A and B are shown apart, each in its own frame.
Chain A
Amino acid sequence: MLAWTIYISFIGVLVLMLLPRDNARAARIVALLTAIAGCVVAFVGAMQQSNPGEVTTIVKADWIPSIGAKYFLAADGISLVLVVLTGLAAIAGILFSWNIEKRTKEFFAFYLALIGAVYGVFLSFDVLLLFMFYELTIIPKYFLIARWGSTRKEYGAMKLAIYSFVGSHLVLIGLIAAWVVARSQLGHASLDLIELSQVSFPIAFQHWVFPLVFVGFAILAGMWPFHTWAPTGHVAAPTAGSMLLAGVVMKLGAYGCLRVAMLMFPEGVRMWQGEIACLAVAGIVYGAGVALVQRDFKFVIGYSSVSHMGFVLLGLATLNTIGLDGAVLQMFSHGIIAGLLFAVVGRMVYDRTHTRDFNDLETMQLGKQLPFAGVTFVIAGIASMGLPGFSGFIAELQVLMGAWTVFPKLTILSGVGILIGVAYTLRAVQKGFYSDAPPAPADHDHPLEPISLPERFGAVMLIAASLIIGLFPSLLMNWIEPCFTSPLSMFGRLLAKGVAQ
């Protein structure tokens, strides 16, 4: 059932291609219906999964037998969480791109292709298939930014593409090496993640292959110091593009780190655990610090993403159940909240005012002109700074809990990052919406266009998602937790030895 999320998205792409070029309205509706269908399938499929702790096979067929590649789609609780996130983010992104007039149908075709590929990554349990979907995301990403973006869009698109390719190259080298070693151990060629997770790779081998694969994926997760694509890419992208980049594409990287690198090379993780945590905390603090001094509204959000993804990586580095729980929940939470922040800045503010410079925004009294945008940003900001009641709190809480046992000093340091997070959010709220600066003479001939209905829907949906998970985290925890605690969990090897140490 879940596999249909992928198929539906690609069918949507085909339908869009067949539409007449100038019918923008039809293109929007097709895209929205496709995204809704995908989201519904994701939800229903996830509900049907009776045992989220185990990997439930969806499709398994031979693909290239000579190298052991299979067409193997499956899902466990972690996949479910991320698939549902993708479904929600896809709908929201379309609602916030309702005003795209330039080549509407192509825009949505690329958009749906990206969504389909993302679903594919989260559901693939064959390394080659996963890698293929992972690569497939780069193309629509590039075009979405280069064609429909703003502010140095070619530069941003190129930087993102190059960083992604470098990352995937590292991954590819590591995976080929692993494939060779695994073949000699298993006696047959295999790219099946579940089989590979049983192979014990030699320690010396893991020592160098793990960082290769991990860093390759972590580049896309915005790990410091390989994060620089993220702010420029986010800023250059159109609103829906930045929502997806921050909302789900960064999660692809973190997901790859967990599902491929950490699963296959448990000894390698243990060797590099401290280094990863240091880089994660550096990202948390550095991202927040840089966000504090930006003049461009969107750069603030861009750097805040780097900071929040630092929590995901910190959670991964803890190698204990609670920290990993927190990391996965933070992926979901950040996907929702960052999407909302980018929607406010990109769609509600920039599309209307055509500026993101705080010095200009300060004179506009946006809190009074666009009260809905102001309130939405305040709520999203509160969620983003991790105040209780929203999903971000419960996620960061667990990451910090997990980290306390392993890296107490780094945990305290990441507290500094949270504080700077509060500071930059407040600064953005003040400068962006509720400034005391003397207002510029209002342009009464061109009042700002009021917030439209799709925008309201999208904002309410995302806020509700964050709030529901914040108040009832068990909804998702019931999916995530068994993945790490159940006796049949594929992560057993990763955690079991971690406890013994």
Chain B
Amino acid sequence: MNHWLTILTLVPFLGGIIVAGLGAERKKLVRGLALAFSLVALGGALCMWLHFDAKSGELQFVEKFDWVKSLGIQYFLGVDGLGLLIVMLTAIVTPLAILASWSVDDRPHVYHALILWLQAGLFGTFTALNFFHWFLFWELGLIPAFFLIKLWGGPKRGPAATQFFIYTMVGSVTLLLSFLAIRLATGSFDFIELAKMAKTGELTAKLGDVLGWKSHIGMIVFFGAFLGFAVKVPVIPFHTWLPAAYAEAPSPVTMLLTGVMSKMGVYGFLRILLPIFPDQIRQVLTPLLWLAVATIVLSACAAFAQRDLKRMLAYSSINHLGYCLLALFAAASVATGVTASDLQKAAALDGALLQMFNHGLTASALFLFVALLERRTGGLRGLDDFGGIRKVVPVFTGLMGIALFSSLGLPGLNGFVGEFLIFKGVFPLVPWAAAVSTIGLLVTAIFLLTLIQRVFCGPLNERWAQLPDLTTAERFLVLPSIALMFVLGIWPQLVLGFTDATVMKLVQQLNF
């Protein structure tokens, strides 16, 4: 029995306690220690990456023992390619976020402790395989995020934090009720076991037997769980908390929110919803696809209408995760054993996983650039506040340009590969959805180019004639993300190699 995953989760958690105990006075020590803990976690994640057997789609690093026997609650951890990928992403984004928060002066010990706890919550969510245990971390991630927005956010942080919390809680409560119903019907909280039952159709039958309302109960339970994840991703129309939260949160926190926390929703769809409710998803497939398409197109249009950099990037974030959902729902379509469609499904899911990782990387890098810009302008970030600054800050312009083009999906950068695979997979499976979604691609290109034009090009706004360019330290700060964008754009196999086996297994699971 190994304890890699437990240790990985405990490192930031204990780190948070230590950092919080240091007090507000020793600012340097607080920052240094927080960074050290997040780097240790990164090292741990890298070690696991190296020891991971990529050829097997099975769960690895499994830890399992009874916790509360009478309720069927187990301490059950494990990762497959999907889990490890997101754990890796969390481990990469957190140190960057801590480095980006170097200038936080208000109660830095609490701030950094909350960031580390958030990381612990995320690690836990992505590794737990028993509902109870998973839910504990799912909620644990929420509390630090709430306080980070509430206490260190922008001028309208109060309402934004509350809205964020309430929306997520609505989802959590319906999710909880759904899983209680499942637990009653099946006696199990174990995701893996439940997926097996779902495959044989046993789950729906049992739900009907135990709870009555035979024809509808499966659907009701599914919608409860769906809402929980849909709010988190978010899917339009459950997205309204997101722009406010992203815009009001301090930019380093937004990096974590968009880079990793939004992945909790997509991860939930992949790990929980898709394997446990394949029947229900198929029954309402068309509406679900419409939701995904609407998310893609409408959020791109909404981003186009924004005049605040952070809000624009927030909507673009919704747009990018919409592609993941499109791929997921498409993969659940056509129920046959046709090998050709298997390949398409695998492509779509591979694309979705890659897109999750890419979006985490790119979106957090973009918010990092916004953080650097805000630091220089004293918090100004309106699209119309700038103009022509490429002449004064060429390095900043160039690097942020790379991140923007990655977000736009330019070939050669990471964003392209993911979106390409998704469309390659989705087109043969559900042509109409793929076709309509391309509008989203188009609008994305338009608004990102508008951004580049308004902020970087055109006549120089005299106000910013003295804007300092990136310092050496800041260049090193953005370097890892930019380098990864190129590496993954040219050699996506680095990620795909790890997820292939998992994706094949998922596809097998969906075929029955």
Q: Please list the residues of chain A having a beta carbon within 8 angstroms of any beta carbon in chain B.
A: 378, 382, 385, 387-389, 394, 397-398, 400-401, 404-405, 408, 411-412, 415, 418-419, 422-423, 426-427, 430, 434-436, 472-474, 477, 481
Contact = CB atoms under 8 A, between A and B. Distances in A.
A412 B176 CA distance: 11
A439 B211 CA distance: 54
Contact of B135 (A388, A401, A435): A388
Contact of B151 (A389, A397, A434): A434
A422 B166 contact: yes
Nearest to A388: B136
Contact of A436 (B140, B158, B212): B158
Contact of B139 (A378, A388, A394): A388
Interface of B: 68-71, 132, 135-136, 139-140, 142-143, 147, 150-151, 157-158, 162, 165-166, 169-170, 173-174, 176-177, 180-181, 183-184, 210-213
B211 A408 contact: yes
Given A398-B71, A419-B173, A387 B143 contact: yes
B211 A389 contact: no
Residue from the set A408, A411, A427, A435 with the largest chain B CB neighbour count within 10 Å = A408
Contacts of A434: 150-151
A484 to B, nearest CB: 11
B183 A401 contact: yes
B131 to A, nearest CB: 10
Contact of A401 (B68, B147, B184): B184
Residue from the set A378, A388, A472, A474 with the largest chain B CB neighbour count within 10 Å = A388
Contact of B173 (A415, A473, A474): A415
15 contacts: A387-B140, A387-B143, A388-B135, A388-B140, A389-B136, A401-B183, A405-B184, A411-B177, A412-B177, A415-B173, A419-B170, A430-B162, A435-B158, A477-B70, A481-B70
Given A387-B139, A401-B184, A408-B181, 8 more contacts: A387-B140, A387-B142, A394-B71, A397-B176, A411-B177, A412-B177, A419-B169, A436-B157
Nearest to A437: B158
Contacts of A426: 162, 165-166
Contact of A404 (B68, B151, B169, B181): B181
Nearest to A430: B158
B311 to A, nearest CB: 20
A263 to B, nearest CB: 22
Contact of A422 (B151, B165, B174, B211): B165
A401 B187 CA distance: 11
A477 B66 CA distance: 14
Contacts of B183: 401
Contacts of A418: 173
Contacts of B165: 422, 426
A423 B173 CA distance: 13
A257 B12 CA distance: 46
- In the A-B complex, the 4 residue pairs with the smallest Cβ-Cβ separation, listed nearest first, are A388-B136, A422-B169, A387-B139, A415-B173
Contact of B69 (A388, A423, A427, A474): A474
A430 B140 CA distance: 19
B173 A404 contact: no
A412 B170 CA distance: 12
A290 B135 CA distance: 28
Contacts of A394: 68, 71
A378 B110 CA distance: 14
A349 B451 CA distance: 49
A398 B176 CA distance: 11
Contact of B211 (A385, A400, A404, A423): A404
Contacts of B135: 388
B150 A400 contact: no
Contacts of A400: 176-177, 180
Nearest to B137: A388
A422 B157 CA distance: 18
Contacts of B71: 394, 397-398, 473, 477
A419 B175 CA distance: 12
A423 B140 contact: no
Contacts of B170: 419
Given A388-B136, A389-B140, A400-B177, A474 B70 contact: yes
A388 B151 CA distance: 23
Contacts of A472: 68
A444 to B, nearest CB: 20
B177 A474 contact: no
B218 to A, nearest CB: 13
